[in-house]
Amino acid sequence: MSAKQVFLPLAWIVYACVGVVQILATVSGIQHATGLWWLVCWVIGIFLGGIPGLGTALGIYGAHMGWNWSLSAAFILFLGIPGFFFLMGGTVILLVAFAAKRRSRRTNTTLAGVQRIVNDYGAVQMSRKSTFADASELPYPKPVIKRAMIAAMSITQDAKTRELLKDSYVSLADWQEGIGPGPHPFETAIAIKDVRASAEAVCAASPSYMEINAKVIAEMEDLMAELKVLGL
């Protein structure tokens, strides 16, 4: 239960109790000034008590003359306590407005951050020169990119865009730790024009290629499983 849920009803209860005491003081003031029957004073008090200024004056008079309160105590009852509640209410309104503005600013900042991370990752995808790349070439750590991609997929309404984001998410597996910058031996081997030399280079590079490819496939499966768990 939040503090607001606890203190707001309590504040209303206290305010209502103070209101009852003020009505009683107003009725006491009318009765002390006029000597009328208490029921008549109640009827008059209900009507006059709601008039700004007049009701307050009658209440202060009744608390002071009818109940023998000091003038300072009577003023506190009719002016100090309402002023306190007015001040507290204004403070609460300002705090709520400030909190809402702060949440809005944080949300906007978060969305801007997500867009920046997704765009930077997309730019790296477009500019890479090898099939597989070293994870150090990513603009942000993989966990940061993953969180941004998940956030983007969650708020994206367009189905095609969401599918592109899913593909990019799974493609994070193409970046592996410790494989060094590309192009890699198996890629340069294919580019050799001499057929025999190219074949020999491909054979020499095949073990490292198969090892990296196995890691990529395993991570892709893990990333697809994560999306499935998230319902994306």
Reading the chain (232 residues) residue by residue, the pLDDT tens digits are: 455 555 567 667 777 777 777 788 888 888 888 888 888 888 887 777 667 677 778 778 888 888 888 888 878 877 777 777 777 777 777 777 776 666 555 544 477 788 888 888 888 888 877 777 888 888 888 888 888 888 888 888 888 888 888 988 998 988 888 877 766 556 554 555 555 555 555 455 566 667 777 888 888 899 999 888 888 7
Paired strand residues for 134: 176
The amino acid present at 70, given as its one-letter code, is S
Please tell me the predicted confidence (pLDDT) of residue 20.
79
Is 222 inside any structural domain? yes
Is 121 inside any structural domain? no
Same domain membership, residue 78 and residue 10: yes
- Those residues with Cβ within 8 angstroms of residue 183's Cβ, 6 or more apart along the chain or in another chain: 129, 130, 191
Same domain membership, residue 100 and residue 132: no
Same domain membership, residue 138 and residue 66: no
Same domain membership, residue 138 and residue 54: no
Alpha helices for the chain (secondary structure H): 3-34, 38-49, 54-61, 71-75, 81-127, 142-155, 159-170, 185-191, 195-229
Please tell me the predicted confidence (pLDDT) of residue 132.
79
Is 58 inside any structural domain? yes
Same domain membership, residue 196 and residue 163: yes
Is 113 inside any structural domain? no
Same domain membership, residue 144 and residue 94: no
Domain range holding 76? 3-104
Same domain membership, residue 192 and residue 225: yes
Taking the CA atoms of the chain, what radius of gyration do you get in angstroms?
A: 38
Please tell me the predicted confidence (pLDDT) of residue 108.
43
Is 112 inside any structural domain? no
Of the residues 54, 89, 104, the one at which a domain ends:
104
Same domain membership, residue 170 and residue 96: no
Please tell me the predicted confidence (pLDDT) of residue 107.
42
Is 184 inside any structural domain? yes
Report the number of distinct structural domains present in the chain. Answer: 2
Please tell me the predicted confidence (pLDDT) of residue 109.
41
Same domain membership, residue 151 and residue 95: no
Is 122 inside any structural domain? no
Same domain membership, residue 136 and residue 220: yes
Is 52 inside any structural domain? yes
Whole-angstrom Cα distance, residue 151 to residue 114?
7
